[in-house]
């Protein structure tokens, strides 16, 4: 038993943390809001230079062959920075899914480009009302009627919607399945398994991002409590504020180990029977912690936190959207229940 | 990261499980916090010690097995999974012993540890005073220097199982010129004999678990001072972080409670509203979260990192989780929840044993946010020492 990341994994985290602190400050997130683009192209290019976009593809496909444990802390940092680009969909979910089940032509068209940072991938699972990032992705992987389709951007019928998080371009996609786009998984069981793993990766990777968002909102609130003075002293000297923030930290820190445990289970899914339940536990706690800290951080900030001028809402709105994405708390709790409760 | 157990750890788990299956009493020993129940529990503690399970992580010379921290967690998981009795020796083994290992002399360790672990000498803690609870540093009990030792005077309270224990430990002011945390000394002292009066206090759950201790020039020899004179506060802090932290409440206990809750749900699910099903699942997830949080903490400890004030974080979580879990159980039980265990009839059978155990467990869980430093104090510690918020 050893529950800790390796030196290399921590080093990669530090690299990405430094890169995002320089390249993706709140102003950059705001410009994605203003442009409604969901993109921070210069940041994405830097991440690609650092190898992040190639992490999850195998070495045979020109990637780095890294696993969920390598990716976990990178995703968390992306959450902390509020990176608008689809790191979850492109790197954690789309690239490995396309590599696993795409046709030779599909892989040739998109994998190298994705690894190089030149192509984004969107994913739409059955029942998902919106496909985020579809408008900026080169290809959308859509699960429809039990089959999976890799649909190029120019053939995708998009009906853009407005997200509460304006840096998230979401769209309704009314796609009529077209055999030309179908992937080639061999048989149905193999495809179902691949899509199942992809969904678990999406829910888990979103949990990692939520952890980062949670930490950012808590950092903002703690800093504000130290700086803001009322009654002649910092508001953070008041027990009411201390207790709010202590509770927020507990929620965050008790979500973290479940998210990391799920990373391990996904990376070892051949031998871990319950990896789906582990992912769901992670998503329940990460989503609940993020929503809790979003409320606490706003309360600690008071009225200034209730403005567009302040950065808090950038992270708060992302957290609300992601808490419900790829299975909300009710969905994932039910999945844990199915694995643990008597029928 | 490697979340599998080693062959050695798996073998250790199998050995624990096999022994516990053969030896855990089939009948409930009743509460360990009544005089009769305490005596029954001590017989069990002796059986544990004689087989080498009383304090698995201790050195062999003191009756342990030199188990690693992970093996200790495994033992705890198996212990509670087997439904084994609560440990009435815990205030010695898990609170005093860590202090002795860190600050005690060889003589103290040789004299005290084995009888403590075998339950031959039982220990209660003497921290709180009537006017020094959360504000422990305001304590007023004193120790006056005399030939060969000290005379202890004052009043201590909330001494768990103090009504039945042989010995206690606590802080006394040895330098009246110094204020608050300074000038205190850590003493071990007897609960019987001249100069000490012990009065049991009935707790909310009906057990005579607490005691008030009245000390009037109780003589304590120099050999029963732990650490240096006037340095007691720093010595005691080592113990209190053990108390809050994983040594007092390992995850095995809460995993066993969550597992019992799932069984209870199985019996009551026909009448359970959907929100209760959700609460049962949340209780399960919380126990899992605490388990993995602990594995993460222990990995940091094995790596030699200071986990410091994070024990406060962990104490707030487990104590509040335990209350929620029991509230969920009582909600499942519905209007039968008022069934209690009859102390005077330990053989009481049927519903009362199980449903009553939940009410009793609920009452005990309610103490969790209070003892070992209230959760309000813990939240202050988290805010000031982890988040760096200003004290004033």
List the single residue in A with minimal CA-CA distance to B275.
A330
Does residue B145 sit in the same domain as residue B79?
Answer: no
Does residue B225 sit in the same domain as residue B307?
Answer: no
Structure tokens at A164: 């509460």
> What's the pLDDT at B372?
86
Is B298 within a domain?
A: yes
List the single residue in A with minimal CA-CA distance to B73.
A1
Is B159 within a domain?
A: yes
Q: Do A285 and B290 touch (CB under 8 A)?
A: no
State the pLDDT confidence band at B350, using cuts at 50, 70 and 90: low
Is B95 within a domain?
A: no
DSSP string, A202-262: HHHHHHHHHHHHHHHHHHHHHHHHHH-EETTEEGGGSHHHHHHHHHHHHHHHHHHHHHHHH
Instruction: Name the strand (E) or helix (H) holding A142.
Output: strand A139-144
Q: Do B376 and A341 touch (CB under 8 A)?
A: no
Q: Do B382 and A249 touch (CB under 8 A)?
A: yes
Does residue B227 sit in the same domain as residue B252?
Answer: no
Mean per-residue pLDDT, B318-327 = 97
Q: Chain B within 8 Å of A242 (Cβ-Cβ)? A: yes
The CATH number of residue B341's host domain is 1.20.140.10
Q: Do B278 and A284 touch (CB under 8 A)?
A: no
Crossing angle for the helix pair A68-81 and A239-267, to the nearest 10 degrees:
150
Q: How many CB atoms lie within 10 A of CB B60?
A: 9
Q: Which residues in chain B have their CB less than 8 angstroms from residue A258's CB? A: 285, 288-289, 292
Q: From the list A237, A258, A341, which residue is nearest B265 (CB)?
A: A341
| Greatest extent of chain A over all pairs of C-alpha atoms, in Å | 70
Does residue B60 sit in the same domain as residue B137?
Answer: no
Does residue B169 sit in the same domain as residue B283?
Answer: no
Is B195 within a domain?
A: yes
Does residue B162 sit in the same domain as residue B224?
Answer: yes
Is B367 within a domain?
A: yes
Q: All domains of chain A, ordered by start, with CATH?
A: 188-340 (1.20.140.10)
Q: Chain A within 8 Å of B318 (Cβ-Cβ)? A: no
> What's the pLDDT at B33?
85
Q: From the list B3, B281, B292, which residue is nearest A341 (CB)?
A: B281
Alpha carbons within 13 angstroms on the beta-carbon side of residue B124 total 26
Q: Is B243 a catalytic residue?
A: yes
List the single residue in A with minimal CA-CA distance to B266.
A342
A-proximal residues of B, 242-281, CB under 8 Å: 262, 265-266, 269, 277-278, 280-281
B-proximal residues of A, 281-300, CB under 8 Å: 281, 284-285
Does residue B60 sit in the same domain as residue B179?
Answer: no
- The alpha carbon of residue A31 is apart from the nearest alpha carbon of chain B, in Å, by 31
Does residue B254 sit in the same domain as residue B306?
Answer: yes
> What's the pLDDT at B242?
57
Assess contact for B144 and B134: CB atoms under 8 A. no
Q: Chain A within 8 Å of B324 (Cβ-Cβ)? A: no
Q: What's the complex ipTM?
A: 0.97
Q: Which residue has the tokens 């009383």?
A: B54
- Mean pLDDT, chain B, rounded, equals 92
Q: Which residues in chain A have their CB less than 8 angstroms from residue B280's CB? A: 337, 341
The CATH number of residue B35's host domain is 1.10.540.10
Q: Do A257 and B313 touch (CB under 8 A)?
A: no
CA distance A280 to A244: 27
pLDDT digits (tens, 9 = 90+) for B117-161: 999 999 999 999 999 999 999 999 999 999 999 999 999 999 999
CA distance B116 to B121: 5
- The alpha carbon of residue A67 is apart from the nearest alpha carbon of chain B, in Å, by 12
From B171, B197, B231, give the residue that closes a domain: B231
CB contacts < 8 A, A to B, total 149
Mean per-residue pLDDT, B45-52 = 97
- The alpha carbon of residue B191 is apart from the nearest alpha carbon of chain A, in Å, by 38
Q: From the list A234, A249, A284, which residue is nearest B313 (CB)?
A: A249
Structure tokens at B23: 């030896």
List the single residue in B with minimal CA-CA distance to A342.
B266
The domain in which residue B166 lies consists of: 123-231
List the single residue in A with minimal CA-CA distance to B68.
A1
Q: Which residues in chain B have their CB less than 8 angstroms from residue A222's CB? A: 387-389
> What's the pLDDT at B336?
85
Q: Chain A within 8 Å of B13 (Cβ-Cβ)? A: no
Q: Which residues in chain A have their CB less than 8 angstroms from residue B255's CB? A: none
Instruction: Name the strand (E) or helix (H) holding B184.
Output: strand B184-190
Distance from first CA to last CA of chain B, Å, rounded? Answer: 41
pLDDT digits (tens, 9 = 90+) for B276-316: 999 999 999 999 999 999 999 999 988 988 777 778 899 99
> What's the pLDDT at B338?
86
- The alpha carbon of residue A156 is apart from the nearest alpha carbon of chain B, in Å, by 39
> Which of the pair, A319 or B335, is modelled with greater confidence?
A319
Q: Chain B within 8 Å of A2 (Cβ-Cβ)? A: yes
Is B346 within a domain?
A: yes
Does residue B381 sit in the same domain as residue B281?
Answer: yes
Q: What is the DSSP letter of A177?
A: P
CA distance A93 to A131: 14
> What's the pLDDT at B240?
65
Per-residue tens of pLDDT for chain A, all 343 residues: 999 999 999 999 999 999 999 999 999 999 999 988 899 999 999 999 999 999 999 999 999 999 999 999 999 999 999 999 999 999 999 999 999 999 999 999 999 999 999 999 999 999 999 999 999 999 999 999 999 999 999 999 999 999 999 999 999 999 999 999 999 988 999 999 999 999 999 999 999 999 999 999 999 999 999 999 999 999 999 999 999 999 999 999 999 999 999 999 999 998 988 999 999 999 999 999 999 999 999 999 999 999 999 999 999 999 999 999 999 999 999 999 999 998 7
CA distances (Å), origin B377, targets A148, B134, B232, B339: 55, 7, 20, 34
In terms of Cα–Cα distance, which of A144, A142, A145 is closest to A153? A142
pLDDT digits (tens, 9 = 90+) for B83-114: 999 999 999 998 899 999 999 999 999 999 99
Rg (CA), chain A: 20
Q: Chain B within 8 Å of A228 (Cβ-Cβ)? A: no
Is B373 within a domain?
A: yes
Q: Chain A within 8 Å of B392 (Cβ-Cβ)? A: yes
Q: Which residues in chain B have their CB less than 8 angstroms from residue A253's CB? A: 293, 310, 313
A273 in helix, strand or coil?
coil
Assess contact for B100 and B113: CB atoms under 8 A. yes
Assess contact for A165 and A318: CB atoms under 8 A. yes
Structure tokens at B98: 């860590």
A-proximal residues of B, 100-159, CB under 8 Å: none
The CATH number of residue B172's host domain is 2.40.110.10
Q: Which of B45, B76, B243, B355 is catalytic?
A: B243
- The alpha carbon of residue A233 is apart from the nearest alpha carbon of chain B, in Å, by 8
Does residue B376 sit in the same domain as residue B271?
Answer: yes
Does residue B263 sit in the same domain as residue B131?
Answer: no
Total domains in the fold of chain B: 3
From B33, B64, B88, give the residue that closes a domain: B88
Q: Which residues in chain B have their CB less than 8 angstroms from residue A239's CB? A: 376, 379-380
Q: Chain A within 8 Å of B309 (Cβ-Cβ)? A: no
From B231, B266, B291, give the residue that closes a domain: B231
Is B26 within a domain?
A: yes
Mutation site, A254, A280, A297, interface B, largest B CB count within 10 A: A254
Q: From the list B266, B285, B376, which residue is nearest A285 (CB)?
A: B285
Does residue B144 sit in the same domain as residue B185?
Answer: yes
Assess contact for A211 and A106: CB atoms under 8 A. no
| Residue A127 burial class via C-beta count within 10 angstroms: exposed 0-12, middle 13-18, buried 19 and up | exposed
């Amino acid at each position: 038993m050893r529950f800790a990341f390796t030196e290399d994994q921590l080093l990669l985290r530090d690299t990405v943390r430094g890169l995002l602190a320089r390249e993706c400050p709140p102003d950059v997130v705001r410009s994605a809001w203003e442009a409604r683009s969901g993109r921070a192209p210069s940041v994405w290019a830097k991440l690609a230079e650092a190898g992040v976009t190639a992490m999850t593809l195998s070495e045979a496909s020109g990637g780095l062959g890294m696993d969920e444990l390598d990716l976990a802390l990178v995703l968390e940092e992306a959450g902390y920075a509020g990176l608008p680009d689809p790191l979850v969909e492109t790197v954690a979910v789309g690239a490995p899914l396309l590599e696993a089940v795409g046709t030779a032509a599909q892989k040739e068209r998109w994998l190298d480009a994705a690894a190089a940072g030149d192509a984004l991938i969107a994913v739409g699972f059955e029942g998902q009302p919106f496909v985020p990032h579809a408008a900026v992705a080169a290809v959308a992987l859509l699960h429809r009627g039990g089959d999976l389709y890799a649909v190029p951007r120019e053939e995708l019928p998009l009906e853009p919607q407005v997200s509460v998080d304006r840096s998230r371009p979401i769209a309704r996609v009314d796609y009529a399945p077209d055999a030309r786009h179908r992937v080639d998984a061999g048989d149905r069981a193999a495809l179902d398994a691949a899509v199942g793993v992809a969904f678990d990766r999406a829910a888990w990777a979103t949990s990692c991002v939520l952890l980062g968002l949670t930490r950012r909102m808590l950092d903002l609130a703690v800093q504000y409590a130290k700086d803001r003075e009322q009654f002649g002293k910092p508001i953070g000297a008041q027990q009411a504020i201390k207790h709010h923030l202590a509770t927020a930290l507990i929620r965050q820190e008790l979500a973290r180990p479940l998210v990391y445990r799920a990373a391990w289970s996904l990376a070892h899914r051949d031998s871990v029977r319950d990896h789906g339940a582990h992912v769901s536990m992670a998503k329940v706690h990460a989503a609940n912690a993020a929503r809790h800290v979003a409320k606490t951080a706003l309360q600690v900030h008071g009225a200034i936190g209730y403005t567009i001028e302040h950065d808090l809402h950038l992270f708060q709105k992302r957290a609300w959207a992601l808490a419900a994405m790829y299975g909300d708390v009710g969905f994932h709790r039910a999945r844990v229940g199915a694995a643990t409760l008597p029928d | 990261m490697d979340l599998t157990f080693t062959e050695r750890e798996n073998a250790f788990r199998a050995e624990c499980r096999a022994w516990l299956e053969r030896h855990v009493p089939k009948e409930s020993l009743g509460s360990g916090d009544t005089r009769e129940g305490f005596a029954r529990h001590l017989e069990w503690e002796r059986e544990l010690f004689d087989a080498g399970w009383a304090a698995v992580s201790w050195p062999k010379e003191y009756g342990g097995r030199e188990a690693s921290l992970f093996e200790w967690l495994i033992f705890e998981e198996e212990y509670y999974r087997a439904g084994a009795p609560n440990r009435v020796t815990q205030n010695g083994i898990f609170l005093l012993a860590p202090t002795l290992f860190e600050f005690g002399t060889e003589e103290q360790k040789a004299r005290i540890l084995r009888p403590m672990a075998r339950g031959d000498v039982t220990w209660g803690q003497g921290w709180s005073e009537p006017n020094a609870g959360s504000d422990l540093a305001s304590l007023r009990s004193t120790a006056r220097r005399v030939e060969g030792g000290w005379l202890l005077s004052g009043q201590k309270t909330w001494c768990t199982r103090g009504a039945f224990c042989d010995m206690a430990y606590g802080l006394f002011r040895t330098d009246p010129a110094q204020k608050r945390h300074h000038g205190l000394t850590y003493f071990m002292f007897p609960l019987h004999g001249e100069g000490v009066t012990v009065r049991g206090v009935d707790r909310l759950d009906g057990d005579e678990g607490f005691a008030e201790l009245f000390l009037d020039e109780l003589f304590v020899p120099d050999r029963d001072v732990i650490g240096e004179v006037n340095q007691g506060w720093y010595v005691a802090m080592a113990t209190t972080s053990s108390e809050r932290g994983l040594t007092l409440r390992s995850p095995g206990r809460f995993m066993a409670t969550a597992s019992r809750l799932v069984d209870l749900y199985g019996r009551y699910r026909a009448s359970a509203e959907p929100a209760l099903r959700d609460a049962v699942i949340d209780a399960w997830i919380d126990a899992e979260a605490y388990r993995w949080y602990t594995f993460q903490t222990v990995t940091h400890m094995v790596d030699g990192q200071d986990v410091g004030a994070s024990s406060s974080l962990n104490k707030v979580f487990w104590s509040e989780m335990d209350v929620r879990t029991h509230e969920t159980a009582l909600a499942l039980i519905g209007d039968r929840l008022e069934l209690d265990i009859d102390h005077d009839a330990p053989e009481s059978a049927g519903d009362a044993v199980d449903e009553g155990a939940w009410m009793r467990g609920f009452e005990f869980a309610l103490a969790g946010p209070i003892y070992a430093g209230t959760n309000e104090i813990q939240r202050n510690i988290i805010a000031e020492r982890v988040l760096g918020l200003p004290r004033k």
